[in-house]
Every structure is written in C-alpha cells, then in structure tokens.
Structure 1
Amino acid sequence: MAWFMGIDIGSGSSKGVITEDGKLVAYHVLPSKANYRVVAQKLRDELLAKVALPPGDITYTIATGYGGGSVPFSNQQVADIRCCARGISNIFPSVRTVIDVQGMSSQVIRLKEGGQVINFVVSEKCAAGSGRFLEVIANVLRIDLKDIGPLSLKSKNPITFTTGCAVFGESEAISRVSEGISKEDILA
C-alpha cells in the first residue's frame, strides 16, 4: 500500500488530500491563517485522523500554493499551475483549458492530453480578478459564495460594471442593489 499526501496552502484556504494506491481516501479544507506552518500541521493532523494513520505511513508528501514553502513535512514543493493541471486532467481527462480563481489571483492554463501544461497566464494585478472579489460581492448581495454560479445563470438582463477595480466594484454593486437591480443580473 502506498499512501500519498498533497497539501495546498492558499492565501484564502488550505486544502489537503490523502490517496491510497491512487484513490482519494481523505480530504480536508481549512481557512488559511497568518501562520501557514500551523495551518499545514493542523491540516495534516485532520487528514491523518480521518484515515487513522500515523505520519510515518505516508510515503510522500507534495506541497503547493501560496504558502507551500511553509510545509515543513513535505518531501517536495511543486508549482500550483502544475498541480492544478495534473489534478484536473486526472478527474476530467478531456479538459484542455482550466480557469483557476484563487484568493489573491486568477490563472488560465492550457493543457495537452495527459495534463501537460502548454501555456498559462496569471493575473495578480488587482483583487477584481480573484476569489476575494467574489467573496466581497457575495457579501454585498448577502448570498453564499456557492450560490454565485447558479444565480448568475438565471439572469435576464446582465449588467456591465464600469470598473475593473475591486474597491470600486464593491461600491458599484451596492449602488446597483439600491437601484433595484436583481442579484442575478449583478452576478451575470
């Protein structure tokens, strides 16, 4: 039996998985805090508890993400673009384009068959293109983050924001709500 652990310490949330012989057997998600080492250790402890394993039974651990360098027990750190490409390719083999909206940035990855990265672009210029912006808009609209996609698909008259800035975007969303524009149209 071969047990592997993957730890992704992101700027907003931290994720972890354990696989046994290539099959997912445990996963856990925690909010990332100021101390990535502490979050990594807590994530590891939670994962190991789910499968009742001691740390020594893990064959190999890979760390990735914004705080991936802060995972003291990892055997290797791998760029998040490679990890994302490989993971998506394993779950959805026919996918050739990945859009990854992270806490502080967004990236678009083009893939070959087998999950090999052809090209990618990363946007880190402004929170407007990040998961944080989606959280801000969800808060303005008083909805759960998970409801953004389904609600946006119900739009009848999508509006266009006049700004690409997260700070001004929040103000504009508040104004649109006060104008009576529907949540669905704001989200679309």
Structure 2
Amino acid sequence: MYTMGVDIGSASSKAVILKDGKEIIATAVLQVGTGTTGPKKVIDNALAKAGLTLDEMDNVVATGYGRFMLEEANQQFSEISCHAKGNFFQIPSTRTIIDIGGQDAKVIKLDSKGSVTQFFMNDKCAAGTGRFLEVMSRILEVGLDEMEAYDSRALEPATVSSTCTVFAESEVISQLASGIAVENVIAGIHRSVASKACALVYRAGLEDDVVMSGGVAQNGGVVRAISKQLNRHVNVAPNPQITGALGAALIAYEENIKGLKIQKEKKIND
C-alpha cells in the first residue's frame, strides 16, 4: 500500500511517499509554497523518485496552510495532527515539539502514545518565524545557510528586543551602524527567535524529550539558543522540513486501513 502526504506551507511545499505505513520511499522539498506551482511540482518530484504514479497512491492527505487547495488530495488534516504524528514516528520519546516554519511557530505536547495533549501557535506575526530570519538575512547580506556559522563565532550576542519584524529591522540596522559585529547581531537575532518559541513552550508546559522540526530547525544557531534558554538538550528531527508531510502520509495509511475494515465489515453484514 502506497500513501502520500503533502505539506503545503507559505514558503515551501513538501511531499512524502510511504510504503505500508512504515517505509519512507521518497521525499521532496521545494522552496515555494501555496499559491504557486510548488505543490504540483513537489508531488511530481516525489513520484519520480519513487518510480510511481499518482494513480498508484492508495490515499493522499494534504496538510499545511494550503491544504484545502490541493486537488490531488483525498483528505485534509491539521498541521498539529500531522506534525505530532511525523515527529513521534521518527522519535518515539518525543513529548514536546517545537516547530518553526516560514510563517508560524507552534509548540505541541504529546503523551506516551503520541496523542496531542496541548498546543499553542503563533501565526499572527512574522517575528519568531522563518520569515523573520529571511528579512534579517537580507538586511545583513548573509545567506540563511551561513547564519549558523556566524552565530558560532559570536562573542557577545546583541540585544534584539523588538517584538515586531518591522521594528526589529530598524533595530538591527542601527546596531550595524553603531559598529556591532555581524556575528553578535546574528546571535542576538537567533536568541530573539528562541525567546518567542520558548514562551510558547512554557505556556504548553515543558516536558522531555524536546524535539525541534520545521525549516528553522536546520539553523543550528536557533537550536542552540533554544537549548540554552530551556536549559536542556533539544533534539532535531531527521530531515526536519518533512515531518508534517510524513505525518500526513502516516494518517493517509491509517485512514485507508480504516476504510478497508469498514468495507470488509459491510460485506460480512450484507
């Protein structure tokens, strides 16, 4: 049985194909999200890697910001459910998930069975999200993939106190103009993102193990800042960008199994 999960975010599109609900046979990520050709392309990429066609998929589940616009999907499920399922599948000891994507940040608490017990989400402001880092990257003229290395060289993180991306932009420009080293500014930016994520963690209630997913989890500077503020180790999910799509593929498998059982019971009753 082949199932596909597609996570359509504001900044990227991700797809995962599973075999029998256990084996990941293809993944694809494109840095273009909802409202673009990204979702269709990411599906095509994943299918090409797997050597399969869309008709061979037993079920397709969509999640993310643009999930209701994906015509190829048979069902849609919330990001919370899918990220919980995807992270728990990869790291069963997960109890607290910190997921920071392009346009939102969320913290999800799980019980020992992987069920969601609490969650909080910040999707009203770009501050503390991947979008915030993109804006800062442009101002600093430092690539997103370079920011972690700069952070590791920082001696004294700058203070980025603004809670709004626009004001933080002005604050960072002023710091650079006053001669503060780029490394210290970047470390301060990472610390600012971490503070917002940790505030959500404390609202949800901190419990080990802590796992980070989402595109921002690829930035080791942010991971280190969160770990320092929480005063505990923070695991990073394997291939953190695909956890939502993976969860969607897992749910697609479970839903298909449910459907087959219902059909079997109906035949017996008939």
TM-score normalised by structure 1 residue count = 0.90
CA distance in 2 between counterparts of 1:183 and 1:113 reads 43
Segments of structure 1 that go 5 or more residues without pairing to the other structure are none
| Residues 8-29 of structure 1: per-residue CA shift (max 9 Å, x gap) | 0101111111112321111111
- Mapped pair 1:77 → 2:76: yes
Match of 1:185, SS state, is helix
Contact 2:9–2:33, Cα closer than 8 Å, also in 1: no
Tell me the residue number matched to 2:168. Answer: 169
Contact 2:63–2:78, Cα closer than 8 Å, also in 1: yes
CA distance in 2 between counterparts of 1:154 and 1:84 reads 33
- Mapped pair 1:49 → 2:80: no
Tell me the residue number matched to 1:24. Answer: 24
Q: How many residues align?
A: 186
Q: CA deviation at 1:31?
A: 2.8
Name the CA shift for 1:179/1:131 in 2 (closer, same or farther; >3 Å): same
More strand by share: 1
Specify the code of the residue in structure 2 equivalent to 1:158. P
Matches within 5 A, 1:92-171: 92-171=91-170
Name the CA shift for 1:114/1:181 in 2 (closer, same or farther; >3 Å): farther
Larger Rg: 2
RMSD: 1.8
More helix by share: 2
Name the CA shift for 1:150/1:96 in 2 (closer, same or farther; >3 Å): farther
Name the CA shift for 1:24/1:183 in 2 (closer, same or farther; >3 Å): farther
Specify the code of the residue in structure 1 equivalent to 2:105. S
Q: CA deviation at 1:119?
A: 0.5
CA distance in 2 between counterparts of 1:61 and 1:87 reads 15
Q: CA deviation at 1:151?
A: 3.6
Match of 2:58, SS state, is strand
Tell me the residue number matched to 2:233. Answer: none
Tell me the residue number matched to 1:6. Answer: 5
Tell me the residue number matched to 1:186. Answer: 185
Match of 1:25, SS state, is strand
Identity %: 39
| Residues 137-164 of structure 1: per-residue CA shift (max 9 Å, x gap) | 1222222223434543443212222311
Match of 2:45, SS state, is helix
CA distance in 2 between counterparts of 1:104 and 1:148 reads 19
Q: CA deviation at 1:34?
A: 5.8
Name the CA shift for 1:68/1:80 in 2 (closer, same or farther; >3 Å): same
CA distance in 2 between counterparts of 1:102 and 1:118 reads 21
Name the CA shift for 1:146/1:94 in 2 (closer, same or farther; >3 Å): farther
| Residues 93-147 of structure 1: per-residue CA shift (max 9 Å, x gap) | 2221111112222111111123211111111221112210011112222222234
Q: CA deviation at 1:33?
A: 5.0
TM-score normalised by structure 2 residue count = 0.64
Segments of structure 2 that go 5 or more residues without pairing to the other structure are 188-270
Contact 2:2–2:17, Cα closer than 8 Å, also in 1: yes
Match of 1:4, SS state, is strand
